[in-house]
Structure 1
Amino acid sequence: MISDALPEAGIQYVVLVEEVIPFGSDDHRWQLVKTIPVEGDRATADARARELAMEHVPQGFYEPYGATAGRSVFRVSDGSWLVEVSTPDTYLPTLARITTAEQVHIQEYLPPPADDTPSAPKRRLFRRG
């Protein structure tokens, strides 16, 4: 069997935090809001993800000063955490998903070279004769 896995020493673990972001009154989508690098092994990254699941408050969630939001935390079968955060006045709970991940690739942005940039094709609106 061929394995393309990196040796444990070369693996960089991160904790990903996704939140449900509302778009209008009836629409929403999941969005990655934080990528947290973790020094250590998979067990360290899993422990950090669990800690975040117990304390993370989603962006834009209103929590009155001195209050503690209600929280339901679920360990999902894929190993991620689903978090519901709410207050008694909240119509729907705010959701977050926290996942341990192995970062396998990073590609830095490289702008095109200044001299080799192709010119945009010119279009004719009216064709002549």
Structure 2
Amino acid sequence: MTGSWYVVLEEETKNYASVDGHGYDLYRWHLARTTEVEGTREAAGAAARSLADSHVPDSIGRFLYLYPGARPGRQVYRMPDGTLLVRVTHRYDESRFRVSVGELVAAQEEVGGERLPEAPSGLKRLFGRGRP
């Protein structure tokens, strides 16, 4: 439904890679969740702030059960465009996520096409039974 307000949650993920004996932390953002909000943009803004104050990324949350009563540290920054950037810390771990308010202005249903025929294996081509 277009014209609806959504709260959009983007999370940062971290992967480790080793190249030529050097280790690198690789960060990227991904769209984790979108939630439609009934009402006005202001209602969506309040829902976004509530999410920024309560959401715990999986990278932090999976360790919290080891420490009953623990609550991660949290810093919430309102950026000039209205996005909320959140830094969550627990012990030696840190994670970041962004919460935004957006209006759905276009939506398009997926259309499944026909699958291309399987390409013949290299052996079939070698013995002249497949396409070149």
TM-score grouping bracket, smaller chain normalisation: 0.7 to 0.9
Identify the match of residue 90 of structure 1 among 86, 89, 92.
Answer: 92
- Give the structure-2-normalised TM-score: 0.74
What runs of 5+ residues in structure 1 fail to find an aligned partner? 1-9
Residue 5 of structure 1 corresponds to none
Residue 100 of structure 1 corresponds to 101
Cα RMSD for the two superposed structures = 2.3
Residue 84 of structure 2 corresponds to 81
- Give the structure-1-normalised TM-score: 0.76
Aligned length: 113
What runs of 5+ residues in structure 2 fail to find an aligned partner? 17-23, 127-132
Which segment is superposed worse, 97-106 or 62-71? 62-71
Distance 2:88 2:32 in 1: 16
Higher relative helix content: 2
CA contact (8 A) 2:87 2:96 kept: yes
Residue 112 of structure 1 corresponds to 113
Q: Percent identity?
A: 34
